[in-house]
Amino acid sequence: MFYVGVEDVAAALARAEDLGGIVVLPAQRNEGGGGTIGHFHDPAGNLVGVAGHR
C-alpha cells in the first residue's frame, strides 16, 4: 500500500467513493505521527492510503 498526501482526507475519501472506490478506513487521527489518514480500495481492488495534516 502507498499513501497520497491530500489537503482534506475526508473529502478525498468521499471523492474516491464517487469514482467507484470503497472506503475501508474512514478518516481518523493518526496517533503515531499526527495528522489524519484513511484507506480505500480503488475500482481495481488496490488498497490506497490518503494522509493529511488536518
Instruction: Return the pLDDT at 1.
Output: 93
Question: Tens digit of pLDDT for each residue in 8-43?
Answer: 999 999 999 999 999 999 999 988 778 999 999 999
Residues forming beta bridges with residue 44, ordered by sequence position: none
Instruction: Return the pLDDT at 31.
Output: 82
3-class DSSP state for residue 36? Answer: strand
**CATH numbers and ranges of domains, the chain:** 2-52 (3.10.180.10)
Instruction: Return the pLDDT at 34.
Output: 83
Question: Residue 9 class from Cβ within 10 Å (0-12 exposed, 13-18 middle, 19+ buried)?
Answer: buried
Question: Residue 38 class from Cβ within 10 Å (0-12 exposed, 13-18 middle, 19+ buried)?
Answer: buried
54 pLDDT higher than 80: no
- Strands 47-52 and 36-41 turn out to be antiparallel
